[in-house]
Homo-oligomer: A and B are copies of this chain.
């Protein structure tokens, strides 16, 4: 065989190929050396020798750089979750509504960025009162670092924008396939500009009532405050329950029959895309959770958060598959994806405070919450094409509550200078009593009740708008398909023969097929 290779090296074409490539290079090098000499007179700037650094740094000078790198890199990962959501949602949906999903994600990201810059960040992270912030509108008055974080202000802003964007995107998941694009713009303004940042202020904002005083409920929890490390409630329950409100206000897609009516979920149109998207989300979660320390100085903490996040995802994905297998006798890919996503959502609140074992239990239970939640939605005749409500809404609740059960009592909060354990978080199972659990219940219930309520009002209001600004696309538009109706193009356009070949192998049964009149073709391709 090697002989053949050597022979080929001797062939004319090969030699010519190599000669041309090498020749081109040589020619260029010679030409350029000529240019170097010839044009030397043109600008006679000598390349200056740069003197080496003589600045003497203190160790403290490095804290802000290190924390800022950490927050930026994790912010990038959180932003990248948009690609994950797009691939996951598009893949799980029908091909006719794909362009709509993609554009909604892109447009909502753009809208969210501008709204968050103008008002969202101010509402959420500006100084104010327990309910809302009112500082930093249009980023006016920003300082080098945000608060005491020793993280560059704009790096912190970017990280928080990426979170807001995530909440906004989750919302669209349960509203796929029948929401008009103008209606989407309207509700997205509500979510990105108001609902998410204001609720977020309650938990993470300076002086927010859930994160600091528990307001009227102060005495009932004995001063223990609500804890949501990276947003099981703030991002996922908020996003998931707004999604539910939209899903209820919209009603199901035309032609969608539910299980108790003899139907079932419409088949996803591209499971490869959906799977890659889900793994991108898992990858992005490594920004979401570990980045929420906002500090790399708490290096033990960021390691713990990252490992807990992983183990919960593993448990969720595995349990979900094993849980539904006995029913269908099929190994369910979609359920494995939503299972590990459910595990990730659940571990988001407790990731800093639990042990690896705790993370596995929390994720594993999420792997049961997801299929039960899907059944529940199906039973209620709520059409949630990608499972946004079970995954984000329901697992968000579970994860939030789990802090009150599994927090191990060893960990407090991360600070810019390292872990602070002066006040630790301890759950019921570790001898902490029910105080934390009660605080978690208050936070989670508040979110479900108030956010869902506000979202229902907003969604039904937009559904009253006449004409094209209505929340739901017209019946004709929906029958035509959102992509053609709203965007004028299908997602895919294939040239058979030249871009795609197909086959229905002659010797194989065609039991799954639906494609009769065409004779089978054989395509061979060179190695």
Give the interface segment out of A241-249, A317-325, A391-399.
A317-325
Assess the A103–B336 pair: CB atoms within 8 A.
yes
Q: Could you jot down 12 A-B contacts, CB within 8 Å?
A: A17-B322, A36-B129, A50-B206, A57-B60, A65-B299, A76-B286, A79-B283, A95-B500, A117-B360, A151-B303, A269-B494, A273-B276
Assess the A130–B66 pair: CB atoms within 8 A.
no
Q: Does A463 contact B (CB under 8 A)?
A: no
**Residue on B nearest A514 in the bound complex, by CB:** B521
Q: Does A441 contact B (CB under 8 A)?
A: no
Of B98, B263, B336, B374, the residue contacting A271 (CB under 8 A) is B98
Known: A495-B502, A497-B514. 7 other contacts (CB 8 A): A28-B189, A36-B129, A43-B216, A79-B283, A106-B275, A153-B303, A503-B514
**Residue on B nearest A517 in the bound complex, by CB:** B517
Q: Distance (Å) between the CB of A488 and the closest chain B CB?
A: 4
- In the bound complex, residues from chain B placing their C-beta under 8 Å from that of A90 are 272, 275
Assess the A512–B498 pair: CB atoms within 8 A.
yes
What 0/1 pattern do residues 300 to 328 of A give for CB contact below 8 A with B?
10111011101101111110011111111
Assess the A25–B189 pair: CB atoms within 8 A.
yes
- In the bound complex, residues from chain B placing their C-beta under 8 Å from that of A509 are 479-480
- In the bound complex, residues from chain B placing their C-beta under 8 Å from that of A150 are 53
Interface residues of A in 374-432 (CB under 8 A from B): 374-375, 378, 416-418
Of B50, B185, B279, B523, the residue contacting A83 (CB under 8 A) is B279
Q: Does A141 contact B (CB under 8 A)?
A: no
The CA of A450 and the CA of B103, in the complex, are separated in Å by: 38
**Residue on B nearest A489 in the bound complex, by CB:** B525
Which 4 A-B pairs give the minimum distances between C-beta atoms? A497-B513, A95-B499, A152-B303, A43-B130
The CA of A62 and the CA of B418, in the complex, are separated in Å by: 10
Assess the A333–B102 pair: CB atoms within 8 A.
yes
Given A83-B280, A328-B527, A499-B481; A189-B56 close (CB under 8 Å): no
Q: Does A148 contact B (CB under 8 A)?
A: yes
- In the bound complex, residues from chain B placing their C-beta under 8 Å from that of A70 are 69
The CA of A319 and the CA of B110, in the complex, are separated in Å by: 9
What 0/1 pattern do residues 424 to 454 of A give for CB contact below 8 A with B?
0000000000000000000000000000000
Assess the A129–B43 pair: CB atoms within 8 A.
yes
Interface residues of A in 180-210 (CB under 8 A from B): 181-182, 185-186, 189-190, 193-194, 198, 205-209
Of B64, B181, B328, B337, the residue contacting A106 (CB under 8 A) is B337
- In the bound complex, residues from chain B placing their C-beta under 8 Å from that of A216 are 43
Q: Distance (Å) between the CB of A73 and the closest chain B CB?
A: 6
Assess the B68–A303 pair: CB atoms within 8 A.
yes
- In the bound complex, residues from chain B placing their C-beta under 8 Å from that of A306 are 72, 75-76, 154-155, 158
